[in-house]
Structure 1
Amino acid sequence: MATAMYLEHYLDSLESLPGELQRNFNLMRDLDQRTQDLLKEIDGLTTDYMTNVKTLPSEKRREKLKGIDGLFSKSKEYGDDKVQLAMQTYELVDKHIRKLDADLARFEAELKDKNSNKTGDSDKHKDKLKDKKKRKNLKEEFEDEIPKKKKKKGQAVVEEPEPMMPIFPLSITHPSDVLDMPVDPNEPTYCLCHQVSYGEMIGCDNPDCPIEWFHFACVGLNAKPKGKWFCPRCSEERKKK
């Protein structure tokens, strides 16, 4: 569509060019013919002058020389006019060439911007799909290692799982370390920090604990303690009892 528009406009601008070129060439040919005629006339007058110069009186010689000089001047004017027409013809063609170059540059720039926008939109879409797939694979890969909620009162208490293996590298020790990582918004949260499962975690031995699972760093642990372990909140409640 854009190509057709540029081509149509350029062809419209060329519509008058052939006629203008033809007119200039005809004028230059006419000037050239006049110059040739003058040169022939000058040759005849010069030959006549050289033949009779010795017999001509001084006044007649000056008159003949003045006529020859006038013809030379006229011939020079024709030549100057011809050069001027040639320069105008060159400028006329060059103007259309410059216009073509400018139109091509604009067209290429518009085409590049259009392709760039399409590529950018396509890359964004691909990135979104890739990120979504990555999160899905991450969730499926570690689905079995996410701590399960314990049954509440009146229900059978399931056996507590062993502290889960780290979902992320062991170097992650604080919730702030995972804030920039892609997280499924539907993934459950744990601990006092209300963050998703990561690193080493420990389960509270109180079956009625509302939180159940805690990050080692959040409860001040470096390793799993021996025996039963209760979270800070459940420990406070046990002391009150």
Structure 2
Amino acid sequence: MTTALYLEHYLDSLEHLPIELQRNFTLLRDLDARAQNLMQTIDKYATEYLEGLAYPTNKSSSMSSDKKKELISNIQKMFNKSKEYGDDKVQLAIQTYELVDKHIRRLDNDLARFEAEIQEKAAASSSRSVEETPGNKSKNRSKKTKEKDKKRSRDSSEDESVAAKTKKKQKRGGSKAQTAKAAEVAIAAPLTHPSDVLDMPVDPNEPTYCLCHQVSYGEMIACEVPDCPIEWFHFACVNLTTKPKGKWYCPKCLEERKKK
């Protein structure tokens, strides 16, 4: 679940919260107003009762016992009613607190779930990055290098075929100038001696070929067998100076074909 969905769901749950809080606060104000009115009435009755007790000898202001009992009874009832209002206010306050606390707990749970999802995504991302190790990258690099070698070999083979055709024309025409030009085309891509390659620094990730298990260099030829385990060979390692006509098979594949 995305952050936007968490936020949307949480805002939906808060839609009725303001109305509920407003209702509770209105009830609290109403109960408080009633309790205040009762306290004022209690003060009035208490003053009247105390004045009757202050002048017991004054007949005009003397209070009968029934009147005193009535005042005491009214004061007691009002105190009990005021206490009920106070209890109702406490219950409303607790209800309001629990209402807000419920949404706070939900927010905490959503945050915990969101953090857990982020950690899971981070773990998945790290596992994918582990799969993309330097070894895998070197394999991809080796594959690209191999494709470049194939292309280079095809280009050199085309150059050799052009040189061979030029030589045939030179023999027929007997022109020395054409012979020299054909020779220049034929040696345009000179062979590199294996010892020169071995002396050069070699990348450990560079793929190896041929019977000599060395990196690609100079002129190379591919075996025509699709499942050949080596596939590419140096001319010098298979005793070739030029690309043969037709299909060419490496010594191992040729031996297997003869057995069949």
TM range (shorter): 0.5 to 0.7
State the number of aligned residues.
Answer: 152
Q: 1:112 aligns with which of 97, 108, 119?
A: 119
Residue deviations 1:130-163 (CA, integer Å, cap 9, x gap): 564899944759989x689xxxxxxxxxxxxxxx
Aligned to 1:123: 130
- What residue in structure 1 maps to residue 29 of structure 2? 29
Q: 1:70 to 1:125 in 2, by over 3 A?
A: same
Residue number in structure 2 paired with 1:193: none
Q: Is 1:94 matched with 2:101?
A: yes
Q: Give the distance between the partners of 1:139 and 1:33, measured in 2 at CA.
A: 87
Measure, in 1, the Cα distance between the counterparts of 2:134 and 2:207.
21
Tell me, yes or no, if structure 1 residue 79 matches structure 2 residue 86.
yes
Distance 1:41 1:135, change over 3 A: same
For the pair shown, which has the larger CA radius of gyration, 1 or 2?
Answer: 2
Equivalent-residue separation in structure 1 for 2:73 and 2:63 (angstroms): 14
1:17 corresponds in structure 2 to: 17
* 1:173 aligned residue: none
What is the SS of the residue equivalent to 2:86?
A: helix
Matches within 5 A, 1:64-75: 64-75=71-82
Q: CA deviation at 1:60?
A: 2.6
Q: 1:139 to 1:5 in 2, by over 3 A?
A: closer
1:91-110 Cα deviation digits (max 9, x unpaired): 00000010011011101111
Deviation, 1:124, is: 1.1
State how 1:30-45 maps to structure 2 within 5 Å: 30-45=30-45
Distance (whole Å) between structure 2 residues aligned to residue 141 and residue 32 of structure 1: 89
* Counterparts of 1:147 and 1:108, CA distance in 2: 52
In structure 1, give the amino acid aligned to 2:114: F
CA contact (8 A) 2:52 2:63 kept: yes
Unaligned runs of 5+ in 1: 149-185, 188-209, 211-241
Greater mean deviation of Cα atoms: 107-116 or 23-32: 107-116
The percentage of aligned residue pairs carrying the same residue is 52
| Paired residues for 1:163-178 under 5 Å | none
Which amino acid counterpart does residue 25 of structure 2 have in structure 1?
F
State how 1:54-65 maps to structure 2 within 5 Å. Answer: 54=56, 55-65=62-72
1:206-217 aligned at under 5 Å gives the runs none
How far apart, in 2, do the equivalents of 1:39 and 1:128 lie?
87
CA separation of 1:47/1:84 partners in 2, compared to 1, >3 Å: closer, same or farther? same
Deviation at 1:8, TM superposition (A): 0.8
Question: 1:111: how far off?
Answer: 1.5
Task: Report the CA distance between 1:63 and its aligned residue.
Answer: 2.0
Query: How big is each residue's C-alpha offset from its partner over 1:156-202, in whole Å with a ceiling of 9 and x where there is no partner?
Result: xxxxxxxxxxxxxxxxxxxxxxxxxxxxxx68xxxxxxxxxxxxxxx
**Equivalent position amino acid for 1:96 in 2:** H
Between the aligned partners of 1:147 and 1:97, the Cα distance in structure 2 is 69
In structure 2, the residue corresponding to 1:56 is in which secondary structure?
Answer: coil
Which amino acid in structure 2 is aligned with residue 2 of structure 1?
A: T
Equivalent residue letter for 1:67: N
Name stretches of at least 5 consecutive residues in structure 2 with no aligned partner.
57-61, 144-202, 215-228, 231-251, 253-260
Amino acid at match of 1:72: F
Shift of 1:64: 1.2
Give 1:25's aligned amino acid. F
The structure where helix makes up a greater share of residues is 2
1:139 & 1:16 partners in 2: Cα distance? 65
Paired position in structure 1 for 2:236: none
Counterpart CA distance in 2 for 1:115 and 1:93 is: 33
Please give the secondary structure, in 2, of the residue aligned with 1:7.
helix
Deviations 1:14-62 (A, max 9, x none): 0000000000000000111111111111111000000013433333322
Classify 1:123/1:27 alpha carbon distance in 2 versus 1 (closer, same or farther; 3 Å): same
